[in-house]
Amino acid sequence: MPSVQPDFDLRDRSVLITGANRGLGAALCKTILQYSPKIIHAGFRSAPGELKDPRIQWCQLDIQAPESVAEVAARVGDIDILINNAGVLLPTATDPAQELINLRTMMDVHLYAPLCLIDALLPSMQRSQHPTIVNIISMSAFVNVAGCEAYCTSKSALHAATQGLRLKHPNIACIGVYPGPTATDMTAGSPVALADPMQSARQIVAGMMAGETSIFPDPAARDVESVVGASIRALEARFATLLSE
């Protein structure tokens, strides 16, 4: 299975992060700034975040709007690292029609929009010496959580798509990140223990630097990794050559 280049680092790299104005996205901005990037294009949909740094370029981006994606792709120039972080959590609806709408929304945000953004930035990223795609997925990609079935379905789809990206683009490092429940606006009021987004961001960046292609950045996520991590990686490596055998 492909891995990140051994000399990978963030110095002088151009980074684009979606959903960078709050939560884990904002924490990733703060963490990456410690590694001297050239620029971080910090994407937001409605309002920029509070982080002020000359290397932060706030970038209005609605990942569900093709015209917004095309405009940003034309404006940001060369990109070395794309972090697909933007997400939405819509609890399971009792009305089947509404639940189908919720599923379509989350499939759009978590699967179709990231893939469209990757396609739009691909020509730019292919000019990079170290092109990297980081998809923020979820540990719930591996098992459904009661009350969040559509969310889990959409994250499972992004997990599968990330594996597919590794096959389609062997010269691009494609990293899947599988956080557990994390303290963000999206999880406000949750009764479960929540990971600190800054600690998770540090683990994600450390994993990127270490060449990991699957990152489980918090205790709950690592519990899941202990059950599925090795088997998923072994299966992916085996199936990568299935049709060539």
- Is residue 6, in this structure, part of any structural domain at all? no
- Is residue 129, in this structure, part of any structural domain at all? yes
Confidence of residue 76 (pLDDT cuts 50, 70, 90): very high
CA 18 – CA 213 distance, rounded (Å) = 19
Residues contacting 60, CB < 8 A, separation 6+: 43, 44, 45, 48, 68, 72
Question: What is the tally of structural domains in the chain?
Answer: 1
* 64-93 as b/e: b if 16+ CB within 10 A: beeebbebbbeebeebbbbbbbbbebbebe
- Is residue 9, in this structure, part of any structural domain at all? no
Q: What is the pLDDT of residues 126-137, one digit of tens each?
A: 999 999 999 999
* 102-130 as b/e: b if 16+ CB within 10 A: bbeebbbbbbbbbbbbbebbbebbeebeb
Average pLDDT over residues 113-142: 96
- Is residue 145, in this structure, part of any structural domain at all? yes
Quote the pTM value: 0.92
Question: Is the pLDDT at 199 greater than 70, yes or no?
Answer: yes
Which DSSP symbol is given to 174?
E
Read off the CATH number of the domain in which 237 is found: 3.40.50.720
Percent of the chain past pLDDT 70, that is, above it, reads 93
**Residue appearing with tokens 């982080």:** 51
CA 68 – CA 131 distance, rounded (Å) = 22
The pLDDT score that the predictor gives to residue 193 is 81
Structure tokens at 147: 């009350």
The pLDDT score that the predictor gives to residue 7 is 58
- Is residue 8, in this structure, part of any structural domain at all? no
The pLDDT score that the predictor gives to residue 189 is 63
* Strand partners of residue 215: 177
CB 179 within 8 A of CB 138: yes
Distance of CA 118 to the CA centre of its chain: 11
CA 125 – CA 4 distance, rounded (Å) = 15
Residue 39: domain span: 14-244
- Is residue 94, in this structure, part of any structural domain at all? yes
- Is residue 233, in this structure, part of any structural domain at all? yes
* Distance (Å) of CA 178 to CA 18, 79, 134, 167, 230: 16, 23, 11, 20, 14
- Is residue 5, in this structure, part of any structural domain at all? no
- Residue 46 phi, psi (nearest 5): -115, -40
Confidence of residue 28 (pLDDT cuts 50, 70, 90): very high
